[in-house]
Amino acid sequence: MKRLICLILALILMTGCGKQEPEQPEEETLIVVGISQVGAESDWRVANSESMKSVFTESRGYRLLFEDARQIQENQIIAVRRFIQQRVDYIVLMPLSETGWDSVLQEARDAGIPVILVDRMVDVEDDSLYAAHVGSDCYAEGRKAVTWMERCYRGGPVNIVHIQGTPGSTPQLGRTGALEEGLAAHDNWNLLARLDGDFTQAKTYEVMSRFLDELPPGQGIDVVYCENDNEAFGAIEALEKHGFRCGRDVNVICFDATRNALKLCKEGKIALAVECNPLLGPLVEEIIQTMEAGQIPQKQHYIEEKQFTSKTITQQMIDSREY
Ligand code: AHR
């Protein structure tokens, strides 16, 4: 028996069996990008995620780690920490709301990983905690809507229902801020209600229906100011169920101007759609390529945006819409 064991051991040594070469990790040739997305709450958000995924592909030289936070900021913080542990090359963050980012951004900076903010902004003491921001000027978008209302209503009372987006997020703060200024500047603008639609169709339908159920008979509504398209879809559904004719009794305003909103604009159900462009993937890539070339990217990139009204929209505008 002893001789047999010795023979087997000798054979193992001769054939090199049991000798494990330490595996060499393959060298990463791709640029690793970790994206923390807010969720999939709106058509805009879906188009924004698609834009990122179509740019950061392996065939274009990237490895993408994509995390959907399902509208929970804590999930985003966990995702950013995971990206830091994974030692990604860049972190792309679409922050749910503006506050609460200082510590995790500091951790990314300590790890030497640049953070690019996309779409929404963060409210931090030290703006060197992020490399660049690319997105919309949401206050300017709100100003466009308020200017349109000023032109549309020149006298008499204007009864307004305001449906807000996710509290504390950049689009909510900017679009609400512009409307608040409009309300303060016009004695004849009456705010009937301020409701939280959280940028979703379902929640807006629910809160708007409840509000309309309790509306005193004969109370008119002139404007429903929705802070995104999906809120407008929910509001229109609720208004129509309660007998309001959108575009005749009441003017619905929204932000984003996705294809579905433009269609409703052409039908006259949306009076004004202010554009908020979600196709930000190519701009984020430009920022990354600037840094790859050893240069400092421009800190703030606001994109040019248009607006559409039921009076000026054309079928060609709808057909050429990419999102
Ligand atoms: O931050 C952009 C906003 O968030 C869009 O207006 C909205 O549709 C989205 O959910």
* pLDDT for res 42: 98
Centroid of ligand 1 to alpha carbon of 178 (angstroms)? 16
Choose the residue to mutate in 199, 201, 203, 230 for probing ligand 1, maximizing ligand atoms within 8 Å of C-beta.
199
* pLDDT for res 275: 98
Local structure of 25: helix, strand or coil: coil
Contact 196, 167 (CB under 8 A): yes
Query: Cα(first)–Cα(last) distance of the chain, in Å?
Result: 76
Residue 44 Cβ inside 6 Å of ligand 1? The answer reads yes
* pLDDT for res 296: 98
Residue among 100, 96, 246 at smallest CA distance from 171 = 96
Residue among 43, 45, 39, 48 at smallest CA distance from 260 = 43
Centroid of ligand 1 to alpha carbon of 196 (angstroms)? 14
Residue-wise pLDDT tens for the chain (323 aa)?
A: 444 444 454 444 444 444 455 565 567 799 999 999 999 999 999 999 999 999 999 999 999 999 999 999 999 999 999 999 999 999 999 999 999 999 999 999 999 999 999 999 999 999 999 999 999 999 999 999 999 999 999 989 999 999 999 999 999 999 999 999 999 999 999 999 999 999 999 999 999 999 999 999 999 999 999 999 999 999 999 999 999 999 999 999 999 999 999 999 999 999 999 999 999 999 999 999 999 999 999 999 999 999 999 999 999 999 999 99
> CA 309, CA 93: separation in Å to the nearest integer?
32
Residue among 188, 183, 184, 139 at smallest CA distance from 162 = 183
Centroid of ligand 1 to alpha carbon of 200 (angstroms)? 9
* pLDDT for res 26: 66
Q: Can you read off the two tokens belonging to residue 133?
A: 């921001």
Contact 182, 149 (CB under 8 A): yes
Centroid of ligand 1 to alpha carbon of 45 (angstroms)? 6
Between the alpha carbon of residue 300 and those of residues 115, 116, 127, 170, 224, the distances in Å are 13, 10, 11, 14, 31
Q: How many residues does the chain have?
A: 323
* pLDDT for res 28: 78
Other Cβ atoms less than 10 A from the Cβ of 319: the count is 9
* pLDDT for res 155: 86
Gyration radius of the chain's alpha carbons: 26
Residue among 69, 110, 62, 127 at smallest CA distance from 89 = 62
> CA 227, CA 171: separation in Å to the nearest integer?
8
